[in-house]
Amino acid sequence: MADDILIRQIAGIVTSGTPIVLAALGETLAERAGVINLGVDGTLLLSAVSAFITALAVQKGLSGHMDAGLVTLIAALAGSLVAMLVGVIESLVVTISSIELKQSQVAIGFVLTLLGRDLAIFLGTPYRSQGGIPVLFLPIPLLKDIPLLGPILFQHDLFTYLSLITLIVMWFWIFRTKPGLTLRSVGERPATAFARGANVNRIRYIYTAIGGALIGLGGAAYTLSVNSTWDENAVGGNGWIALAIVIFGGWQPLRVVIGVYLVAALRVLVTSVQSSFDPALVGLMNAAPWLLMIITLFLVSGSYLERLLKILPRSVHPALRALLRSKPPAALGTPFEQG
């Protein structure tokens, strides 16, 4: 019985972490190409409400004309596509402002976050806490019956599967393919990549747009899967966590996803024990993910890591260095003049 409860909790962590996994992987891809997109939080909010409104409209228009399950699937796909389009548009604003207009990526990202948040709240006010479309759970035959792994990985909805597939594909693409090597070169040494024939700015456009689409898909996962309704308070702030986790993960997809699930686990823990503690203490516990990110950001900086290592046994130094090593792409946030 206890084992079943633990398995369900782990499966819940995987599900609840899905939107941030997609957003963090999208930002990782953009930053690997040398572009900082600080508009993640605003994009998550705007894409989430856009997906919700679109899905409800499609469901209303098709209901009664075809099978209810098919209507739900079409509505979810339509909402997801609109959310991804929102993410692509936002990312293109960042890249155009940086590459063509020579403006600060950081400043543009902050402005887009505020714009996306306010626009999402304005559009979503009539839909706040309104019921959405049913969540499409798609257990995978045979795999869902594997002991332990089946319930944790193969009894989820489409968004969760997409997040896991994205992790695998992105890791393989970045570290095991020639285009992935070019991507890393563009983020580290764009002049060298250009000298070898790479169109640096075009590559940045492409990968930042793909990253924006993933962020938008993460927003759709909130309102069409995890929450199944529109509530800006349940979405807002998670974009900043995604940005911090990209640093925590050292711009490596696998470490980024592990960081997301760690934060999701902390949230599940707080939810499970909140009835047993004073509300003030629960409020402090809700801040645990943020505190974890702040502590991690200190630790991944070279000086603080070296100070920590001085007071720890030498035997743990290699493992700790591997865990906390976090070196950003050398050309991150730096415009490149081709030719």
Mean pLDDT by 10 residues, the chain (339 residues): 75 92 97 95 96 94 82 92 97 93 90 94 89 83 85 90 96 96 95 92 96 97 91 89 88 92 83 68 69 68 64 70 72 83
pLDDT at residue number 129:
75
Which ranges in the chain belong to alpha helices (H)? 2-16, 18-32, 40-62, 68-95, 105-124, 149-153, 158-176, 178-188, 190-195, 200-221, 232-235, 238-248, 253-273, 279-286, 288-300, 302-310, 317-324
The rounded distance, in Å, linking the Cα atoms of 144 and 142 is 5
CA dist list (Å): 51 to 31, 87, 217, 327: 25, 11, 9, 35
What's the total number of domains in the chain? Answer: 1
Closest by CA to 202, choosing from 124, 295, 296, 92, is: 92
Has residue 333 been placed in a domain?
no
Q: Is the dihedral of CA 99, 254, 294, 330 positive or negative?
A: negative
pLDDT at residue number 187:
94
pLDDT at residue number 148:
82
Has residue 40 been placed in a domain?
yes
pLDDT at residue number 222:
94
Has residue 336 been placed in a domain?
no
Tokens 């060298």 correspond to 192
pLDDT at residue number 306:
66
Has residue 8 been placed in a domain?
yes
The answer to whether 75 and 59 have CB atoms below 8 angstroms apart is: yes
Has residue 203 been placed in a domain?
yes
What token pair was written down for 292? 């974890």
Has residue 338 been placed in a domain?
no
pLDDT at residue number 336:
86
The rounded distance, in Å, linking the Cα atoms of 8 and 12 is 6
Rg (CA), the chain: 21
Has residue 339 been placed in a domain?
no
Q: What is the CATH number of the domain that holds 166?
A: 1.10.3470
Which domain covers residue 68, as residue numbers?
2-324
Has residue 181 been placed in a domain?
yes
